């Protein structure tokens, strides 16, 4: 089971989504891999999200009714594809923090900023605990 809290700051407004669900966990070299089915609570029902994380990076892919691929590396900006019901967007993703202590205490923390056409879109945090 995982508990996932997603916090988003946009235009000074804070929104938070919480999800508790079954997940698959595996290890691939230095990467911890967590995969779970999205629900109505996340707004992506019918999709599967996979997070692949090591000590300083994470890769988040979503496949199904919504598709996206985000690359997060501390101190770097990547351009990533993000599919919405209205079409595909190319987002800039700047990663502030990756704290992966899954092996030690079952926690993963991600903090990143998104921009669209170089205009700030949102600041985001993901807090995941595995039980």
Per-residue pLDDT tens digits for 81-98: 888 777 888 899 999 999
pTM reported for the whole predicted model? 0.90
Q: Which residue has the tokens 């990756």?
A: 98
Q: Which residue has the tokens 């985000």?
A: 70
Token reading at 67: 């598709």
Q: Which residues contact 15 (CB under 8 A, 6 or more apart)?
A: 7, 8
Above 80 in pLDDT, residue 63?
yes
Confidence bin at 62 (pLDDT 50/70/90): very high
Give the rounded distance of the alpha carbon of 22 from its chain centre: 17
For 105-118, b where at least 16 C-beta lie within 10 A, e where not — what string? Answer: eeebbbbbbbeeee
Q: Which residue ranges form the domains of the chain, and what is each CATH number?
A: 2-130 (2.40.128.20)
pLDDT of residue 81: 85
Percentage of residues in the chain having pLDDT higher than 90 = 78
- How do 68-73 and 31-37 pair as beta strands? unpaired
Above 80 in pLDDT, residue 41?
no
- CA 36 vs CA 11, 87, 121: distances in Å: 30, 24, 26
Closest CA to 56 of 96, 98, 27, 28: 98
């Amino acid at each position: 089971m995982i508990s996932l809290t997603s916090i988003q700051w946009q235009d000074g407004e804070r929104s938070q989504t919480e999800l508790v669900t079954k997940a698959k966990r595996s290890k691939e070299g230095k990467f911890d891999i967590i995969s779970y089915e999205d629900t109505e609570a996340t707004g992506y029902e019918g999709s599967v999200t996979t997070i692949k994380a090591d000590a300083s990076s994470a890769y988040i892919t979503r496949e199904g009714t919504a598709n996206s691929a985000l690359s997060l590396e501390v101190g770097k900006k990547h351009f990533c594809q993000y599919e919405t019901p209205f079409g595909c967007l190319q987002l800039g993703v700047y990663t502030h923090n990756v704290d992966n202590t899954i092996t030690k205490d079952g926690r993963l923390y991600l903090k990143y900023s998104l921009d669209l056409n170089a205009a700030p879109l949102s600041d985001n945090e993901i807090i995941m605990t595995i039980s």
